[in-house]
C-alpha cells in the first residue's frame, strides 16, 4: 500500500499519514512531495501538503485516504526542505510553517477586469458622430468601458447604448499581474572602488553556485544598497530567470527601496508584507512559484514564498530586532534567511552599518565573507557626535532639552536646515502617578504602566493596547486632580519644541502618528521635501531613511536603552543611536549629532562619540565570551502562561523536575517573568544556556517530551530569544 505523510496547515505537532488511492497516481503521474492535496480531517476536507510518499506492506492502523490532488502548484523542494527545517529549529509544528508558506494562496484572486470589444462587424442601427467616434477609438481592441468613453470623449451612456444594442459586448479578463522583467542595464550607477569590489565579490559568489554568506559592512550612506543592487544586476545578466529576495525589517522602509529598484532596473519589484492587499499577495505568490517574478522586496514572512530559482537573499539592516517574530511562530528572520540560502544553495548578503554581534562573530571566524565599504560616498561625511553631559547642562524642571541642544536647534533652523529629535518613547508621558499616595497607574490585567497620550487624551498600555480615559480621581486613594505625568514621550518633547520655536514647522513621527505604510510614507515625503523643520521621532524614523536637508540629530535620552539591562541592551543602544545619528548630513551638508546623557562615561556612549565601533564590539564580545553568552553560547527560553496561576506553577515545577542530564548546559528558573501578568495570564520563564557544540534542540525536545502540559497552560519555546520579558 502507498502512504503519504501530509502536513496540515494547522497547529498540529506532526504530519498525518493517509492512504494514497491508486486512482490518484493514475490521473497525473505519481503523487510527490510538495503536492497539495485535500484530505479528510474529522468531518471536513482540509488542504494539506505532501511531505513524503512511501510504500508499506499493510499497516495495523486503518488509514483514511487522500480525497484528491488539488490543482494548485506544488510547493518547490526548497520550500519543503525549508519549512521542515524551520519547524525543527524553532520547535514548532511543521504544519504551521507550511501554513505560512501557503498564506498567499489562501487569499482571494483579484476580481476579473471588465472590458468591451466589438461583436463581429455589427454596426449600430443609428450612427451618430458620438457612436462612430467610440467605434473608431476602440478599433479591434478590448478596453475597459470607462477608458473607452474617455478616449472617445463621450459619456458612458453612449458606450452602454452600444452594448445594449449588441454592437459591443462585455468580456471578463482574469487580471493576471504583469511582473516586468528587470533590465540590469537600465540605469547603472558608477560605483566607487570599494563598492565595485564588493559587488563583484557578491556576484561571483552567486555565479560560483552553492551556499555563500556575506556580511556587507559599511557606515550609513557608504553605498551598501548601491553595491548590492549592482550585484543583483550582474546576477540577472548571467541568469535572466534568477530570483532575488530582499528582506527589510520594517514595512515603512519598503517604498523607498522599491522606487530605487524601479529606477535602477526600469521595473518595479514585487512587494510582500502584511500591508499588501490579499488579492495582490495571491498574484505575487503565483508569479513567484511560476518563476514570472524576479525580485521580491518584503518583510520576514517573504522567506516562505515558493521561489523556484532563488539565487540570492539580501537581509538589509540585518542587526534589526524587528526581524525577530515574537507572536505566533517565534523565529528570527535573519537566521532563517541564512538557513533558506543554505538549503537553496544560494548566496545571502547581510547588510548593516552596525552588524549584530552574532554576524560579526561569523565574519571574524571566517564563516561569512566580510566585505567592508569605507567612507560615505562622495563628499558626504559622517556627522560629528558630541555627548551633552546633563549633569552640567541640566534642563529646567519639566523640560527635556538642554541649553546647548536648544541653541543647536535654533542655529539649524536659522540656516534653513532640518533637525531630528530622537526619543524612543511613544506618547506624552511614560508614567502617570498620584502626587497624594504615590500610586502608579497600571493596566487592570497587565503588569505594565499606562502611558499618557495627549493627542487622544487616553492612557494606553503599549503591551496589550488597553486604553482608558485619564481619570479625574486617583483610582487608588480617590484624591482629586492629583495625577501627574512623569517623564517625556515624543508628544511632550514636541510640546516643548513648539513653545521654544513657534515659527518652526514641527511634527511627530511614531507608530501613533504613522500607524500604517501610507501615513509613514506621507510623513517621510514631507520631511524629504523640506516641509518639516523639526521632526520628533521614535525609532520609526531613525532607520534607513535619506533626508538630504537633515543636519542635526538630537538624542533626547541616550541612556534610555541602557537601563533595561538585558543581554543586548548595550548592543541595541549602540545600533539604534548609530542609526539615528547616521541620519544627519547625508548629502552635501555636514551634519552633527548631540547626545544628552547622565552617564557620558558609559562605554557605549564614549565609543559612539569617538566613532569607534571596533572598540565597542571588542569590549562587548569580551563580556559575552566571559559569560559564555551569545554569540559564544546559545540560549533558549521556555515561557509558560495561563489564567490559572496554580497550573502555571505546577507545570513550571514539573519542568524543573524533568530536566534531562546534559553537559555544558544550564537551566535557570523557573522564575516569574518580568512581565508576570499579561492580559490576566500569569507568566513564568525558564532559560537554557548551552555551549555552541551542544545540540540545543535535541535537548529541548527530550525535555518537553517528559512533561505533560495541561490544556490551560500555553508553553512557548523561544530559540535564541531577544526579549526577556
Ligand atoms: P547605504 O545603503 O550604505 O546607507 P546607499 O546605497 O543608500 O547607502 O547610498 C547613500 C546615498 O549615496 C544614496 O543617495 C546613494 O544614491 C548615494 N550613492 C552611493 N553610492 C553611489 C554611487 N556610486 N554613485 C552615485 N551615488 C551613490
Q: What is the arithmetic mean of pLDDT over 319-331?
A: 92
Per-residue model confidence as pLDDT tens digits over 150-164: 999 999 999 999 999
Q: What is the arithmetic mean of pLDDT over 215-239?
A: 95
Pocket test for ligand 1, best of 195, 216, 219, 223 (most atoms within 8 A of CB): 223
* CA 393 to centroid of chain Cα atoms: 38
Q: Determine the length of the chain.
A: 725
| Whether the Cβ atoms of residue 343 and residue 82 lie closer than 8 Å to each other | yes
Burial grade of 622 (CB within 10 A; 0-12, 13-18, 19 or more)? exposed
* pLDDT for the residue 350: 98
* Cell numbers 457612436: residue: 131
Q: Other C-beta atoms within 10 Å of 717: how many?
A: 19
Ligand 1 atom closest to the Cα of residue 373 is 3
Q: Is 249 in the pocket of ligand 1 (CB under 6 A)?
A: no
User: Is residue 219 predicted with pLDDT exceeding 80?
Assistant: yes
Q: Is 189 in the pocket of ligand 1 (CB under 6 A)?
A: yes
Q: Is 5 in the pocket of ligand 1 (CB under 6 A)?
A: no
* pLDDT for the residue 526: 94
Q: Is 221 in the pocket of ligand 1 (CB under 6 A)?
A: yes
Q: What is the arithmetic mean of pLDDT over 675-679?
A: 91
Residue of minimum CA distance from atom 20 in ligand 1: 223
Q: Is 191 in the pocket of ligand 1 (CB under 6 A)?
A: yes
Helices of type H across 611-663: 613-626, 645-657
CA 217 to ligand 1 centroid distance, Å: 14
CA 131 to ligand 1 centroid distance, Å: 54
| pLDDT band with cut points at 50, 70 and 90 for residue 327 | confident
* pLDDT for the residue 140: 87
CA 230 to ligand 1 centroid distance, Å: 12
Q: Does the bond joining 631 to the residue before it have cis omega, within 30 degrees of 0? A: yes
Pairing assessment for the beta strands 451-453 and 295-298 based on DSSP bridges: unpaired
Q: Is 314 in the pocket of ligand 1 (CB under 6 A)?
A: no
Ligand 1 atom closest to the Cα of residue 380 is 12
User: Is residue 172 predicted with pLDDT exceeding 90?
Assistant: no
| Whether the Cβ atoms of residue 97 and residue 86 lie closer than 8 Å to each other | yes
Ligand 1 atom closest to the Cα of residue 195 is 23
* pLDDT for the residue 380: 64
| pLDDT band with cut points at 50, 70 and 90 for residue 50 | very high
| pLDDT band with cut points at 50, 70 and 90 for residue 516 | confident
Q: Is 90 in the pocket of ligand 1 (CB under 6 A)?
A: no
| Whether the Cβ atoms of residue 714 and residue 641 lie closer than 8 Å to each other | yes
When mean pLDDT is compared across 9-13, 114-118, 504-508, the lowest value belongs to: 9-13
Q: Is 218 in the pocket of ligand 1 (CB under 6 A)?
A: yes
User: Is residue 29 predicted with pLDDT exceeding 90?
Assistant: no
CA 530 to ligand 1 centroid distance, Å: 20
Q: Is 579 in the pocket of ligand 1 (CB under 6 A)?
A: no
Cell numbers representing residue 416 in the block: 534653513
Q: Is 599 helix (H, G, I), strand (E, B) or coil?
A: coil
When mean pLDDT is compared across 57-66, 138-147, 303-312, 533-542, the lowest value belongs to: 57-66
| pLDDT band with cut points at 50, 70 and 90 for residue 657 | very high
Q: Is 349 in the pocket of ligand 1 (CB under 6 A)?
A: no
User: Is residue 110 predicted with pLDDT exceeding 90?
Assistant: no
| pLDDT band with cut points at 50, 70 and 90 for residue 565 | low
CA 252 to ligand 1 centroid distance, Å: 19
User: Is residue 263 predicted with pLDDT exceeding 80?
Assistant: yes
CA 350 to ligand 1 centroid distance, Å: 17
CA 195 to ligand 1 centroid distance, Å: 10
Q: Is 256 in the pocket of ligand 1 (CB under 6 A)?
A: no
CA 158 to ligand 1 centroid distance, Å: 53
Per-residue model confidence as pLDDT tens digits over 387-402: 999 999 999 999 999 9
Q: Is 220 in the pocket of ligand 1 (CB under 6 A)?
A: yes
CA 516 to ligand 1 centroid distance, Å: 27
Residue of minimum CA distance from atom 6 in ligand 1: 223
| Whether the Cβ atoms of residue 185 and residue 163 lie closer than 8 Å to each other | no
CA 355 to ligand 1 centroid distance, Å: 19
* pLDDT for the residue 68: 92
Q: Which of 140-144, 278-282, 503-507, 578-582 has the highest mean pLDDT?
A: 503-507
Q: What is the arithmetic mean of pLDDT over 22-41?
A: 85
* CA 437 to centroid of chain Cα atoms: 43
Q: What is the arithmetic mean of pLDDT over 565-574?
A: 87
Q: Is 382 in the pocket of ligand 1 (CB under 6 A)?
A: no
Rama region for 565: left / alpha / beta (φ>0; ψ in -120 to 50; rest): left
User: Is residue 241 predicted with pLDDT exceeding 80?
Assistant: yes
Averaged confidence pLDDT in the chain: 92
* pLDDT for the residue 26: 62
Q: Is 195 in the pocket of ligand 1 (CB under 6 A)?
A: yes
Element (H, E) at 411: helix 403-414
Residue that wins the pLDDT comparison between 367 and 176 = 367
| pLDDT band with cut points at 50, 70 and 90 for residue 317 | very high
Contacting residues for 626 by C-beta, under 8 A, at least 6 apart: none
Residue that wins the pLDDT comparison between 422 and 60 = 422
Q: What is the arithmetic mean of pLDDT over 348-352?
A: 98
Pocket test for ligand 1, best of 190, 377, 584 (most atoms within 8 A of CB): 377
Q: What is the arithmetic mean of pLDDT over 48-76?
A: 89
| pLDDT band with cut points at 50, 70 and 90 for residue 453 | very high
CA 191 to ligand 1 centroid distance, Å: 9
User: Is residue 376 predicted with pLDDT exceeding 90?
Assistant: no
* pLDDT for the residue 407: 97
When mean pLDDT is compared across 8-22, 79-93, 183-197, 663-677, the lowest value belongs to: 8-22
Measured CA to CA, the distance from residue 251 to residue 658 in angstroms comes to 42
CA 533 to ligand 1 centroid distance, Å: 24
Ligand 1 atom closest to the Cα of residue 218 is 3
Per-residue model confidence as pLDDT tens digits over 570-629: 999 899 888 888 877 766 778 899 999 999 999 889 998 998 899 999 999 999 999 999
User: Is residue 318 predicted with pLDDT exceeding 70?
Assistant: yes
Widest pairwise Cα distance in the chain: 93
Q: Is 546 in the pocket of ligand 1 (CB under 6 A)?
A: yes
Percent of the chain with pLDDT over 70: 97
Pocket test for ligand 1, best of 193, 194, 216, 226 (most atoms within 8 A of CB): 226
Q: What is the arithmetic mean of pLDDT over 196-206?
A: 96
| pLDDT band with cut points at 50, 70 and 90 for residue 379 | low
What string of H, E and C letters represents the secondary structure of 231-298? HHHHHHHHCCCCEEEEECCCHHHHHHHHHHHHHHHCCCCEEECCCCCHHHHHHHHHHHHCCCCCEEEE
Percent of the chain with pLDDT over 90: 73
Handedness of CA 80, 83, 84, 89 (dihedral sign): positive
Pocket test for ligand 1, best of 221, 264, 314, 528 (most atoms within 8 A of CB): 221
| pLDDT band with cut points at 50, 70 and 90 for residue 545 | confident
Residue that wins the pLDDT comparison between 477 and 127 = 477
* pLDDT for the residue 127: 84
Amino acid at each position: 500500500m502507498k502512504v503519504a505523510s501530509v502536513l496540515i496547515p494547522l497547529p498540529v505537532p506532526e504530519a498525518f499519514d493517509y492512504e494514497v488511492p491508486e486512482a490518484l497516481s493514475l490521473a497525473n503521474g505519481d503523487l510527490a512531495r510538495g503536492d497539495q492535496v485535500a484530505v479528510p480531517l474529522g468531518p471536513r476536507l482540509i488542504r494539506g501538503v505532501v511531505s513524503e510518499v512511501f510504500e508499506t506492506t499493510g499497516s495495523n492502523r486503518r488509514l483514511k485516504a487522500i480525497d484528491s490532488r488539488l490543482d494548485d502548484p506544488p510547493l518547490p523542494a526548497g520550500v519543503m526542505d525549508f519549512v521542515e527545517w524551520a519547524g525543527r529549529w524553532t520547535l514548532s509544528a511543521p504544519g504551521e510553517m507550511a501554513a505560512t508558506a501557503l498564506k498567499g494562496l489562501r487569499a482571494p484572486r483579484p476580481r476579473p477586469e471588465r472590458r468591451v470589444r466589438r461583436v463581429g462587424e455589427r454596426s449600430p442601427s443609428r450612427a451618430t458622430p458620438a457612436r462612430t467616434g467610440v467605434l473608431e477609438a476602440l478599433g479591434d481592441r478590448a478596453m475597459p468601458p470607462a477608458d473607452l468613453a474617455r478616449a472617445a470623449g463621450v459619456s458612458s451612456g453612449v458606450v452602454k447604448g452600444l452594448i445594449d444594442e449588441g454592437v459591443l459586448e462585455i468580456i471578463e479578463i482574469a487580471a493576471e499581474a504583469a511582473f516586468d522583467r528587470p533590465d540590469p542595464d537600465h540605469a547603472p550607477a558608477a560605483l566607487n572602488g570599494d563598492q565595485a569590489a564588493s559587488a563583484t565579490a557578491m556576484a561571483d559568489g552567486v555565479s560560483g553556485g552553492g551556499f555563500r554568506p556575506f556580511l556587507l559592512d559599511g557606515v550609513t550612506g557608504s553605498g551598501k544598497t548601491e553595491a548590492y543592487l549592482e550585484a543583483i544586476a550582474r546576477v540577472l545578466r548571467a541568469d535572466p530567470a534568477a530570483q532575488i529576495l530582499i528582506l527589510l525589517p520594517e514595512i515603512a522602509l519598503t517604498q523607498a527601496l522599491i522606487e530605487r529598484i524601479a529606477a535602477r532596473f526600469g521595473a518595479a519589484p514585487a512587494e510582500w508584507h502584511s500591508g499588501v492587499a490579499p488579492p495582490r499577495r495571491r498574484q505575487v505568490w503565483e508569479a513567484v512559484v511560476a518563476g514570472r517574478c524576479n525580485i521580491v522586496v518584503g518583510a520576514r514572512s517573504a522567506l516562505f514564498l515558493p521561489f523556484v530559482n532563488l539565487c540570492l537573499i539580501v537581509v538589509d539592516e540585518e542587526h534589526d530586532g524587528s526581524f525577530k517574530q515574537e507572536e505566533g511562530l517565534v523565529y528570527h528572520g535573519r537566521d532563517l534567511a541564512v538557513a533558506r540560502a543554505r538549503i537553496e544553495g544560494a548566496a545571502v548578503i547581510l547588510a548593516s552599518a552596525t552588524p549584530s554581534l552574532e554576524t560579526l562573530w561569523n565574519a571574524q571566524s571566517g564563516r561569512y565573507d566580510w566585505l567592508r565599504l569605507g567612507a560615505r560616498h562622495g563628499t558626504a561625511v559622517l556627522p560629528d557626535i558630541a555627548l551633552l553631559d546633563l549633569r552640567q547642562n541640566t534642563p529646567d524642571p519639566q523640560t527635556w532639552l538642554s541649553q546647548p541642544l536648544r541653541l543647536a536647534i535654533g542655529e539649524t533652523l536659522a540656516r534653513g536646515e532640518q533637525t531630528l529629535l530622537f526619543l524612543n518613547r511613544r506618547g506624552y508621558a511614560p508614567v502617570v502617578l498620584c502626587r497624594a499616595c504615590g500610586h502608579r497607574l497600571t493596566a487592570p490585567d497587565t503588569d505594565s504602566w499606562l502611558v499618557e497620550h495627549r493627542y487622544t487624551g487616553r492612557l494606553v498600555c503599549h503591551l496589550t493596547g488597553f486604553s482608558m480615559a485619564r481619570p479625574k480621581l486617583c483610582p487608588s486613594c480617590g484624591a482629586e486632580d492629583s495625577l501627574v505625568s512623569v517623564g517625556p514621550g515624543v508628544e511632550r518633547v514636541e510640546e516643548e519644541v513648539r513653545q521654544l520655536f513657534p515659527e518652526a514647522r514641527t511634527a511627530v513621527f511614531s507608530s501613533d502618528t504613522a500607524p500604517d505604510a501610507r501615513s509613514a510614507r506621507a510623513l517621510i515625503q514631507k520631511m524629504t521635501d523640506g516641509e518639516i523643520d523639526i521632526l520628533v521621532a521614535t525609532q520609526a524614523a531613525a532607520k534607513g531613511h535619506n533626508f538630504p536637508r537633515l543636519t542635526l540629530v538630537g538624542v533626547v535620552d541616550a541612556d534610555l536603552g541602557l537601563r533595561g539591562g538585558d543581554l543586548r541592551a548595550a548592543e541595541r543602544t549602540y545600533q539604534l543611536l548609530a542609526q539615528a545619528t547616521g541620519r544627519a548630513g547625508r548629502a552635501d551638508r555636514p551634519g552633527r549629532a548631540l547626545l544628552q546623557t547622565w552617564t557620558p562615561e558609559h562605554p557605549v556612549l564614549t565609543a559612539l562619540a569617538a566613532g569607534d565601533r571596533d572598540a565597542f564590539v571588542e569590549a562587548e564580545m569580551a563580556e559575552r565570551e566571559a559569560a559564555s553568552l551569545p554569540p559564544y553560547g546559545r540560549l533558549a527560553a521556555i515561557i509558560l502562561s495561563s489564567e490559572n496561576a496554580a497550573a502555571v506553577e505546577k507545570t513550571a515545577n514539573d519542568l524543573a523536575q524533568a530536566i534531562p542530564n546534559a553537559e555544558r548546559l544550564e537551566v535557570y528558573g523557573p522564575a516569574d517573568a518580568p512581565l508576570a501578568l499579561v492580559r490576566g495570564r500569569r507568566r513564568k520563564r525558564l532559560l537554557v544556556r548551552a555551549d555552541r557544540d551542544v545540540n540545543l534542540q535535541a535537548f529541548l525536545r527530550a525535555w518537553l517530551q517528559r512533561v505533560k502540559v495541561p490544556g490551560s497552560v500555553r508553553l512557548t519555546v523561544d530559540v535564541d530569544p531577544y526579549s526577556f520579558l
